Chains A and B, each alone.
Chain A
Amino acid sequence: MEWVNAIVQGVLLGGLYALFAAGLSLIFGVMRLVNIAHGDLIVLAAYIALVVVQATGLHPLASAIIVVPLMAAIGYGMQRLLLNPTIGKDLLSPLLVTFGISVILQNGLLATFTADSRRLAAGPIETASIDILPGLSLGILPLIMFAVSVLLILGLEWIFYRTSLGRAFRATSDDAEIAQLMMLDRRHVFGLAMALSAAVVAIAGIFLAIRTNFDPSSGPARLLFGFEAVIIGGLGNLWGTLAGGIVLGVAQAIGAQISPGWQILAGHLVFFLVLALRPKGLFPRMD
């Protein structure tokens, strides 16, 4: 039963990894931008949630009402002011700018909040659980996180394939030059894509802050998990990203079951295995 338990916990953790990855996947899909600062944005959202909770006394989960729109606005501004001027020339310039943003965010957070690790206390919900079978219980909080991840991916899918904004994203992704002739302002479309990504990042940041300790240098590891989930699942496929997150979560959980030192390594090994055997990921986009 211990193994079943480990796998179930891994699946639930996979939902969080999928959240780390969804924003990354969205940005790469729409503007072919690899956002190196993605992990640091997750940590920034965690710190903003910390400040909001301390200032308002809101429950960490309820802080999303403020953190999500704030992060979306930060994302939009960052895209319009820093990234748009570099997009379209070559892949390297925007990549370097996001690397610079990553360095600035880490050092800015270090200067503001020190290197002490923090955590958001969510109260009794953290320890609440339901017993499924003897020896197998599910934490309420991991369940909520998993459900929210699935709902968010469902929502992103709906936006992408059922709305005018989604059509604008896909048209711009397919042919940014011709999309402009459809009266689409590329700078605004890219700004909205980054805002949406940052809104997802905000949720991921709040969950991260509740689930584990974080400090200003926690970002790159989250970026790595996000990348791995995207690559395992297959680029450009949000459900694949969820599957990738789950595969990564289960691999880590099984690794941890073998030995605590194997947790992260097992995830990386599965990632390499997928990269070697199916370089396009488990569920690549069909086109």
Chain B
Amino acid sequence: MAEPLLSIRGLKAGYGDFQALFGIDLDLGAGEVLALIGANGAGKSTLLKAIVGLVPCGREMVSLRGEPIGGARPDRIARRGIALVPEGRRLFRSLSVEENLVVGGERAKPGRWTLETVFRLFPILGERRKSLGTALSGGQQQMVAIGRALMANPDIILFDEISLGLAPVVIKDIYAALPAIVATGVSIILVEQDVSRALGVARSFVCLQEGKVSLAGLPSEHARAAITAAYFGMRR
């Protein structure tokens, strides 16, 4: 098998004295969509934060194209091509929609994602480009957050709770945009509460439970009951 784009080995991380992750292993191939599932508090967000450098971890624990990047500064990891769409969107509140997008891309390498292509993906953002990002609806804010990540022309995008708190009709719009993003060859780790939806778009999945991998593989390899058991930590 070819070397994975992103490789995580024995990742341990936490916040001060509190350890949230206990030796996570995970591989993400080029162009792969991986669903990261698990109950609240399983460590999904911590794992994403450790990958992008917002939570400290050991240098050898995270490798990108075989090169260790664990614990590097967040801006350096971003430069290497990993972007995060954070939980709760976290748009810059004093910046307009357009500025939020521009700030995401102005230090990045040029690529296929520009203001024009993001506005083509989410036309509503073009119409509201001068509005403050925080003046938009939750779904539109999520589009800005996704656009902001795309503007960096990353190789990997981590989506943290992509549909949390959004209306079903809006979630449909967001998911409708995913194939266009995947088609550009970007790899994705998708953290999602809606397991069925996540497994529907992902090639592979990793299920976390209390900071450890409880099940991993291809969705087709495992019975739904086994995935549910791994999700809730039930003995089978």
Contact = CB atoms under 8 A, between A and B. Distances in A.
Contacts of B132: 287
Nearest to B80: A183
Interface string B17-60: 00000000000000000000000000000000000111000000
A175 interface: yes
Nearest to B85: A181
Contact of A181 (B83, B95, B102): B83
A168 B92 CA distance: 10
B78 A173 contact: no
A126 interface: no
A181 B74 contact: yes
Contacts of A138: none
Nearest to A171: B92
B92 A170 contact: yes
Given A180-B75, A183-B78, A184-B75, A174 B83 contact: no
B210 interface: no
B79 interface: yes
A9 B73 CA distance: 52
B94 A177 contact: no
B108 interface: yes
Contact of B99 (A167, A173, A183, A186): A167
Given A177-B54, A287-B132, A182 B107 contact: yes
A167 B95 contact: yes
B103 A171 contact: yes
Contact of B93 (A183, A184, A287): A287
Contact of B103 (A173, A182, A185, A287): A182
Given A164-B106, A167-B103, A185-B75, A179 B84 contact: no
Nearest to A170: B94
A180 to B, nearest CB: 4
Contacts of A167: 95, 99, 102-103, 106
A178 interface: yes
Contact of B79 (A168, A177, A183): A183
Contacts, number: 64
B92 A183 contact: no
Nearest to A184: B75
Q: Bin chain A's interface residue count.
A: 10 to 19
B130 interface: no
Contacts of A178: 86, 90, 92
Nearest to A167: B103
A171 B95 contact: yes
A183 B102 contact: no
A183 B105 CA distance: 9
B152 interface: yes
Nearest to B49: A177
B64 to A, nearest CB: 15
A175 B92 contact: yes
B126 interface: no
A184 B74 CA distance: 9
Contact of A183 (B54, B84, B152): B152
B219 interface: no
Contacts of B106: 164, 167
A181 B78 contact: yes
Contacts of A179: 92, 103
Interface string A177-211: 11111111110000000000000000000000000
Contacts of A185: 73, 75
A170 B94 CA distance: 7
Nearest to A178: B90
A174 B93 contact: yes
B138 interface: no
A183 B107 contact: yes
Contacts of A170: 92, 94-95, 99
A209 to B, nearest CB: 35
A211 to B, nearest CB: 35
B52 A181 contact: yes
A175 B93 CA distance: 9
Interface of A: 164, 167-168, 170-171, 173-175, 177-186, 287
The 4 closest A-B CB pairs, nearest first, are A180-B74, A183-B107, A174-B92, A171-B92
